[in-house]
């Protein structure tokens, strides 16, 4: 194998595939990156048996070949080389030789025949969506996935198509994030739960552009395909929450607020709520809704804080406790200027929606306040 490539191009490819390299494994081959030439292209592949990524890039290929090299070592060397042409060859000792200006590195290689093949997915249902739309939908939901492995199904996002609409939903037992968009092409009704880890990597690779990305699913795998990149991942097994039935349709108290003003209040109050010297202890903030006003307050051994915001209110007065991080996570991804914050009671979920027709809904469970 002998090829010449530009540093910026191969570095972009490496940054795309590096996240599918196994970090803790008894199989050294999974710590590698498969490099395979095909005419004047090279394909880089990584696979940790859960998520696999292929990236194809142009290069000047002088001799065809295939090898596997330690991914972290290879990418770090490339990252630190000068911004110019890089020569990569396999020598007679089967070492990968990297040359760039005055730099010369030789890396041990592994047998490419031992590298596991990415699953061949027989796509049963698929959708095509603009990359910037998918990127936005993931950004608006991924933060609400669970990090608790005891309920694996909630560590992913539900992708569900109904009536030519794509719904992406995340839930962790304390909050829910739901984003939807109308699809341009007619599609079948299907649902799949895609791991949050995969979606985080997809979001780093896709562009903020109108270029299409195709998402295909089979019984236990999902496939994301773009022009020069392919990502395969296993699906999560289990029954996802029936999210449409848990979001309250009615409210007893409604607040209409400027999103940025409300976010600023929660960010300031979080300075106190998050500053506890007892790191294991969580201090909720108290939200009080009065006529034309919301008061947000917090008291702990560090001090106390209170924020008052004059807003439009409807319904009854209310006092409830909430984790301020959950409010902030939702507010930070909302782009609308004005939002409704709807409450049922001090022990029922709070729902955040845009004023007017919108494509998202957030639900947050309250925390019981101590007397």
**pLDDT of 23:** 87
Instruction: Please tell me whether residues 193 and 132 are part of one structural domain.
Output: yes
Q: What average pLDDT does this structure show over 165-181?
A: 96
CB–CB of 257/353 below 8 Å? no
pLDDT digits (tens, 9 = 90+) for 97-143: 999 999 999 999 999 999 999 999 999 999 999 999 999 999 999 99
The token pair at 75 is 């990418």
**pLDDT of 281:** 52
Q: How would DSSP label each residue in 144-197?
A: GS---TTSGGGGEEEEEEETTEEEEEEE-SSEEEEEEEE-SS----EEEEEEHH
Instruction: Please tell me whether residues 56 and 132 are part of one structural domain.
Output: no
Q: Is residue 106 part of a domain?
A: yes
List C-alpha distances in Å: 5 to 53, 61, 91, 328: 20, 9, 18, 44
pLDDT digits (tens, 9 = 90+) for 304-341: 999 999 999 999 999 999 999 999 999 999 999 999 99
Helix (H) or strand (E) holding 59: none
| pTM, two decimal places | 0.91
pLDDT digits (tens, 9 = 90+) for 259-296: 999 999 999 998 888 765 454 456 789 999 999 999 99
Instruction: Please tell me whether residues 255 and 211 are part of one structural domain.
Output: no
Q: Is residue 335 part of a domain?
A: yes
pLDDT digits (tens, 9 = 90+) for 10-46: 999 999 999 999 988 889 999 999 999 999 999 999 9
Task: Out of 242, 271, 303, pick the residue that ends a domain.
Answer: 242
Task: Out of 67, 86, 114, pick the residue that ends a domain.
Answer: 114
In this predicted structure, the answer to whether residue 210 has a pLDDT above a threshold of 60 is yes
CB–CB of 248/176 below 8 Å? no
Instruction: Please tell me whether residues 326 and 358 are part of one structural domain.
Output: yes
CB–CB of 176/243 below 8 Å? yes
Instruction: Please tell me whether residues 108 and 178 are part of one structural domain.
Output: no
CB–CB of 167/361 below 8 Å? no
Q: Is residue 120 part of a domain?
A: no
CB–CB of 129/166 below 8 Å? yes
* CATH number of residue 17's parent domain: 3.10.150.10
Instruction: Please tell me whether residues 235 and 268 are part of one structural domain.
Output: no
CB–CB of 5/59 below 8 Å? yes
Instruction: Please tell me whether residues 184 and 99 are part of one structural domain.
Output: no
Enclosing domain of residue 66: 2-114
**pLDDT of 74:** 98
Instruction: Please tell me whether residues 273 and 341 are part of one structural domain.
Output: yes
Place of tokens 């039935």: 245
Q: Is residue 349 part of a domain?
A: yes
């Amino acid at each position: 194998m002998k090829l010449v490539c530009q540093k910026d191009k191969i570095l972009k490819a490496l940054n795309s595939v590096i996240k599918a390299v196994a970090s803790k494994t008894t199989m050294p081959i999974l710590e590698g990156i498969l490099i395979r030439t095909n005419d004047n292209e090279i394909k880089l592949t990584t696979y940790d048996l859960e998520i696999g990524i292929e990236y194809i890039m142009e290069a000047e290929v002088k001799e065809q070949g295939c090898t596997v090299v330690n991914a972290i070592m290879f990418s770090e060397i490339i990252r630190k080389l000068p911004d110019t042409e890089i020569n990569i060859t396999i020598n007679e000792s089967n070492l990968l030789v990297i040359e760039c200006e005055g730099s010369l590195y030789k890396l041990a290689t592994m047998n490419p025949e031992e590298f596991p093949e990415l699953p061949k997915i027989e796509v049963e249902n698929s959708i095509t969506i603009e990359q910037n739309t998918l990127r936005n939908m993931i950004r608006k939901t991924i933060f609400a996935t669970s990090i608790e492995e005891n309920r694996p199904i909630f560590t992913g996002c539900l992708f569900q198509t109904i009536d030519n609409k794509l719904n992406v939903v995340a839930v962790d037992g304390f909050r829910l994030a739901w984003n939807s968009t109308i699809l341009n092409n007619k599609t079948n009704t299907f649902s799949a739960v895609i791991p949050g880890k995969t979606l985080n990597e997809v979001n780093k690779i896709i562009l903020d552009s109108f270029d299409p990305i195709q998402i295909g699913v089979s019984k236990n795998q999902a496939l994301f395909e773009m022009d020069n990149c392919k990502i395969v991942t296993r699906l999560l097994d289990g029954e996802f929450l029936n999210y449409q039935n848990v979001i309250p349709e009615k409210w007893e108290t409604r607040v209409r607020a400027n999103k940025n003003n409300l976010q600023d209040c929660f960010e300031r109050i979080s300075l106190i709520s998050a500053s506890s010297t007892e790191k294991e202890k969580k201090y909720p903030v108290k939200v009080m809704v009065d006529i034309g006003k919301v008061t947000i307050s917090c008291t702990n051994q560090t001090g106390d804080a209170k924020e008052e915001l004059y807003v439009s209110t409807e319904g009854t007065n209310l006092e409830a406790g909430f984790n301020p991080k959950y409010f902030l996570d939702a507010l930070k991804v909302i782009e609308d200027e004005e939002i409704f914050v709807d409450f049922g009671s001090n022990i029922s979920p709070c729902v955040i929606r845009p004023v007017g027709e919108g494509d998202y809904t957030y639900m947050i469970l309250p925390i019981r306040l101590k007397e």
